[in-house]
Chains A and B, each alone.
Chain A
């Protein structure tokens, strides 16, 4: 019964200490039926620590909340915000709200997908980039909107995707050939 552990989650990962301390601060009473109201905030915290929610983290949380692993996993799979696979270092999110959609967001998405050779929801093999679609960031005046990590690119035009990606390649210390 050996289980493959994700690289992030060896016992020595300091993330667990942080998560443990966070859950301590919530003062969970294992027999109080209302304890579960803090579960979703805990999952948010855990995802901010680990970047995603692998099985080890889920089991850890389930234990501390005295609920089943199935319950935790069920909650995670229900909400779009939680992910059980790691994201790229540079997260490219394309807004697919209605305002962005009528202003051509699907074409912008295609541009990014073509440029990186991955589809929405995937990560490049080197782990540098991932593409996601999201629902309305509320910056409709800038439609179509692309978020790279927390940076907002507004009124993105077709053909701009590669330029935006290049900005981040530079950050990885990669030389971008002049065209």
Chain B
């Protein structure tokens, strides 16, 4: 199961870099973050998983979508090739490290939390207030985009 999730992280991260449509790239990055969050859970770091999903898959995505709305993301962006090359080099390095069985020597155990909690338990038992805060983030994101969209509609551009 874990190799499949890792593969999904790699594929969606790759898509986030290669896709020219900004909105689709952002959605791929969000899916990749959700899978990464699941890996954190599998590795016994449930709090890191919740933070990853909260911050990266939730909040940062709202910020990205908001920025796209502000600057107008309809046009495809002509990008330099450097990020793609950089991504391929990093992918190669990490693949080699994985193949040759590289082991991380230091994992800070203090920050991993209780390994025996599942996602629901961590979210419900430990981070319920975060959900209220996330609702505020989602509300703010939706209203801001509505305000920008309605303004653009009225201006005709």
* Chain B associates with chain A: no
